[in-house]
Structure 1
Amino acid sequence: MQNDRPSANGKKDHEPRSDGETPDRQSIAIHWFRRDLRLHDNPSLVAAAAADRLIPIYVFDPDDYGPSEYGGRRSFRYDKTGFHRTRFRTEAVADLRASLRALGSELYVRVGDPAEVIPSFAERTGAEVVHAGSWNVPEERTTEARVRGALADRDEPTPLKTDPGHTLYHPADLPDGPAGVEDTYTPFRKSVENAADVEVRAPLGVPSLPPVPSPLGDDEDPLAPGRIPEPADLLDGGSAGDETGEGDGTGDGDVDRRPDDALQYRGGEAAGIARLREYLWEGDHLRQYKKTRNGLVGRNYASKLSPWLNEGCLSPRAVHDEVRTYEAVRVENDSTYWLIFELIWRDFFAFQVAKHGDRYFSREGIRERDDIEWATGEEEERRLRRWRQGRTGVPFVDAGIRELRATGYLSNRARQNVASFLANDCRVDWRKGAAFFETHLVDYDPCSNYGNWAYIAGVGNDSRDRAFDVVWQANRYDEDGEYVRRWVPEVADLPTAYVHEPWTMDPGTQGHHGVHLGEDYPWPVLEMK
């Protein structure tokens, strides 16, 4: 990602804009940043930069934080956004503000309902158009529709113009559009890889930004920049104090055993670009990614770009562009392709949500499964509570939950296993596990998260049985127990023969190793075969 890449208007990145003579009336545009917290390859920002004056704004919507109803049939309450992603997001907004200021612009930050804040800015500044990115997730489409409606209801209606910029392939370039995407991944992948007229568009450069309008000069100046809130301000004592919001006594302080070699996820475009360069160029890790991608421990077994991709600090097209450059300069092999392969998976889930809408988030899923006997009542609550606490009595599962809560991140291998255990072994409503991930993941993306959970639970995009044998998986991918020993100290001193299956120890063996099941570490929540 070169800093001198030409922008969409042909100028070099960061080149000062020359306005020439000031016209009698200057056009004013608003760019509403959402999950596109970057300057590079941002189509809606490029469109907004065509105005004479530009007002960049970000709105923290209180409805995105704290307890919320899941909605729909069989609804339940959960915390929407926990500490890790809230911290990452506030850091990303701060980084975006710094980048805009470096270009002579500003980022206006507000806390409130976007359907009130954005029209108010338009009214008081005389903005003629609002630009924003668009997503096909039902919640985000609802917010967008409310803002559009509020802008249209003004005495002088203001249009909201949106551009998609979060997927690798532009929706308009798909052979049959999102509605024509098949419900299994391989046909979709082949359709975009093999079609002669479907290509990944070249990423856009950073546009030259027009200045912000002059302040109005009164006590109610709408162009006061505004303060970026602290995570605790947004969480308001819910997920900030106890991440589950359920008072189960297993908040950050009880599980924070972050290994020294863990990647620190700092929000912002600068940090995202730095991680991309570190993984590809400085560490040269991409050349062996296919071999390392099932890793559980360490900084570089995977690219770990997802937090920046999902908060919009990195563009998938820019990542694709960088991988292609790496292939031309360093090496092109199965590992380099595999990273692009996973970007296409990300697109697949995004377009599936665009196609199926709310059905994608229902318990029965897009396959409308009504033949699964889900646990109910106290038994479901007991299993779910033990799983959330990382005290299922199955060390591999508990290690995954504890890592997630401590760091906000979990490897793909661990995600699949903890999800399968809850949905397929415990038979707990898979959406409650997916919602727990929504709370805690620093890289939460609604389409990929709920799409993968539905896939594992057997109600989504695969007709095959996706249940995992978590004990077999533990012995296969954590052969010496290194991962479990890091996150489940209760069993850290057990011999490898027992570290993944402590319930196989007889009372004498338990006493010999100082691990008494039911006291030092729980018996499994289910009978293990």
Structure 2
Amino acid sequence: MEKKTFGRNLSAFGSRLAWRCHFIQKLEDQPSLETHCMHPAFEGLREDGNREDYFQAWANGQTGFPFIDACMRSLKHQGWITFRMRAMLVSFASYQLWLDWRVTAPYLAGLFTDYEPGIHYSQFQMQSGVTGINSVRIYNPLKQGKDQDPSGTFIREWVPELKNYGMQKLHEPWLASSDLFFEQGAKNKVSYPPPVIDLIKSSKEAKEKIHAVKRSELFKGQSSEVLNKLGSRKRPHRKKHQKHKAVQLNLFN
């Protein structure tokens, strides 16, 4: 390995350790982050919307969205998935299924072999849009599946019910004819469920609910206090490194 490359990797490793300590300290300073939204305006947002059938479908990889289900099943079997996959699972549960993060966070905590409470709960709140200091990130599981698993290898491995589907229908099996769907299910002695929600409708409704909170007087009145207390501090200016292409872990790393 070249000296420059090794130096960059070492610097990146040091940076990750620093952020790890940062998030651990956050939770030690404010243990309530495990049970309360960073921004109090989001309290009560999802509690009444929790549906046990949605939670079970998500937790068992039976949502009807192949890439979501493949990620969850892989995680349950191996205890680890990439950051992008983790963020997508949380986003899907929080926005499209409208499940409260206090219901889903403990479940994933029990699956991650690298579970660290400080990082876990801060990231869960961030990906669920209840910090008030981070952008709302709603992942599209269809786009993510097509972008991250274009050959369908990952989905076919973890969702064997769809292993005989061609690429045209693999990411959206509900578009196949009912006869084909039945035929494939019978061949594999198991049926694959239809989507538990309307992806477009649920995403739109989630955005509207989140933005309604952000327009409230409660949100505006406490945002500065939350930012000052929990926002990451700016770092001293450092000399810029030469630009280099970032390496993203793929599904099989």
**TM-score, normalised relative to structure 1:** 0.35
Partner of 1:348: 22
Judged with a 3 Å threshold, the aligned counterparts in structure 2 of structure 1 residues 503 and 372 are, in CA distance, closer, same or farther, namely farther
When Rg is computed on C-alpha atoms for both structures, the one with the higher figure is 1
Correspondence list, 1:84-123, <5 A: none
CA distance in 1, matches of 2:41, 2:115: 25
Deviation at 1:508, TM superposition (A): 4.3
Partner of 2:208: none
Q: Higher relative contact order by CA 8 Å / sep ≥ 6: 1 or 2?
A: 2
Superposition CA RMSD, Å: 2.5
Is 1:407 matched with 2:78? yes
Partner of 1:202: none
CA distance in 1, matches of 2:120, 2:137: 16
CA distance in 1, matches of 2:153, 2:18: 32
Judged with a 3 Å threshold, the aligned counterparts in structure 2 of structure 1 residues 451 and 506 are, in CA distance, closer, same or farther, namely same
SS of the residue corresponding to residue 514 of structure 1 reads helix
SS of the residue corresponding to residue 46 of structure 2 reads coil
SS of the residue corresponding to residue 105 of structure 2 reads helix
Partner of 1:305: none
Correspondence list, 1:413-452, <5 A: 413-452=84-123
Of 69, 90, 93, 1:398 maps to 69
SS of the residue corresponding to residue 331 of structure 1 reads helix
SS of the residue corresponding to residue 414 of structure 1 reads helix
Judged with a 3 Å threshold, the aligned counterparts in structure 2 of structure 1 residues 372 and 463 are, in CA distance, closer, same or farther, namely farther
Deviation at 1:445, TM superposition (A): 0.6
Deviation at 1:461, TM superposition (A): 7.0
Is 1:369 matched with 2:41? yes
CA distance in 2, matches of 1:514, 1:370: 43
Judged with a 3 Å threshold, the aligned counterparts in structure 2 of structure 1 residues 508 and 338 are, in CA distance, closer, same or farther, namely farther
Judged with a 3 Å threshold, the aligned counterparts in structure 2 of structure 1 residues 440 and 478 are, in CA distance, closer, same or farther, namely same
Judged with a 3 Å threshold, the aligned counterparts in structure 2 of structure 1 residues 350 and 483 are, in CA distance, closer, same or farther, namely same
Deviation at 1:362, TM superposition (A): 2.6
Deviation at 1:339, TM superposition (A): 3.2
Deviation at 1:372, TM superposition (A): 6.7
Q: Tell me the matched-pair count.
A: 197
Is 1:505 matched with 2:179? no
Letter in 2 for 1:370: F
For residues 368-407 of structure 1, the C-alpha deviation after alignment (integer angstroms, 9 at most, x for no partner) is: 2337742637x61110011111111111111121112111
Gaps of 5+ in 1: 1-283, 288-326
Judged with a 3 Å threshold, the aligned counterparts in structure 2 of structure 1 residues 485 and 462 are, in CA distance, closer, same or farther, namely farther
Partner of 1:464: 135
Residues 431, 450 of structure 1: 8 Å contact kept: no
Larger strand share, 1 or 2: 1
CA distance in 2, matches of 1:527, 1:412: 25
For residues 231-288 of structure 1, the C-alpha deviation after alignment (integer angstroms, 9 at most, x for no partner) is: xxxxxxxxxxxxxxxxxxxxxxxxxxxxxxxxxxxxxxxxxxxxxxxxxxxxx6xx8x
Judged with a 3 Å threshold, the aligned counterparts in structure 2 of structure 1 residues 354 and 401 are, in CA distance, closer, same or farther, namely same
Residues 63, 195 of structure 2: 8 Å contact kept: yes
Deviation at 1:429, TM superposition (A): 0.9
Gaps of 5+ in 2: 201-253
CA distance in 2, matches of 1:372, 1:482: 40
Judged with a 3 Å threshold, the aligned counterparts in structure 2 of structure 1 residues 503 and 353 are, in CA distance, closer, same or farther, namely same
Deviation at 1:341, TM superposition (A): 3.2
Is 1:384 matched with 2:55? yes
CA distance in 2, matches of 1:439, 1:340: 27
Of 122, 125, 132, 1:454 maps to 125
Residues 96, 199 of structure 2: 8 Å contact kept: no
Is 1:526 matched with 2:233? no
CA distance in 2, matches of 1:331, 1:370: 43
For residues 281-337 of structure 1, the C-alpha deviation after alignment (integer angstroms, 9 at most, x for no partner) is: xxx6xx8xxxxxxxxxxxxxxxxxxxxxxxxxxxxxxxxxxxxxxx57x6334x554
Identity %: 24
